[in-house]
Amino acid sequence: MAQSDEEEGISATCHCGAVTLRLSRAPAEVTHCNCSLCRRYGTLWAYYTKAEVTILSAQPTDTYAWNGRHIDFHRCAHCGCVTHWYPRAESRDRLGINARLLEPAVLDRARVKQADSGGTGLFH
Ligand SMILES: [Zn+2]
């Protein structure tokens, strides 16, 4: 067991391993958002400040932006996994990482918050 590694930080990786997100801590809460994009991606988001995340990518990620283009949604250019979203403005410090890329045991310990951003009324 690499117990000491786990204590130093948590990693989220895409399927092929080209993109690794090093996190300063495990998420206490993840957000299940049902907006038109997130429900298609099937993501769970964990939010961090820029200082809490180190993004390691073997090659440039592909991106997608919509709805004002304030943030870019990044995905691995090789395996296609959605990895994170990142704000375009320097002044915005919050980013989201796709918690589905965490080890299942790490994700299991997080509370799931339902965000009804799609306004469907399905979440209460
Ligand atoms: Zn990949």
Q: How far is the CA of 72 from the centre of ligand 1 (A)?
A: 17
Is there a domain that residue 56 lies in?
Answer: yes
Question: For position 124, what pLDDT does the model report?
Answer: 53
Residues near ion ligand 1 (Cβ under 5 Å): 14, 16, 18, 76, 78-79
Q: How far is the CA of 98 from the centre of ligand 1 (A)?
A: 13
**Full pLDDT tens readout for the chain, 124 residues:** 444 444 557 999 999 999 999 999 999 999 999 999 999 999 999 999 999 999 999 999 999 998 888 999 999 999 999 999 999 999 999 999 999 999 999 999 999 999 888 777 766 5
Is there a domain that residue 53 lies in?
Answer: yes
Q: Give the whole-angstrom CA distance, residue 89 versus residue 60.
A: 19
Q: Which domain holds residue 92?
A: 9-115
pTM of the model: 0.88
Q: Give the whole-angstrom CA distance, residue 36 versus residue 95.
A: 19
Is there a domain that residue 57 lies in?
Answer: yes
Domains in the chain, number: 1
Token digits of residue 45: 């988001």
Q: Could you say which DSSP state residue 52 is in?
A: G
Q: Give the whole-angstrom CA distance, residue 74 versus residue 86.
A: 8
Is there a domain that residue 1 lies in?
Answer: no
Q: What is the CATH number of the domain that holds 101?
A: 2.170.150.70
Is there a domain that residue 54 lies in?
Answer: yes
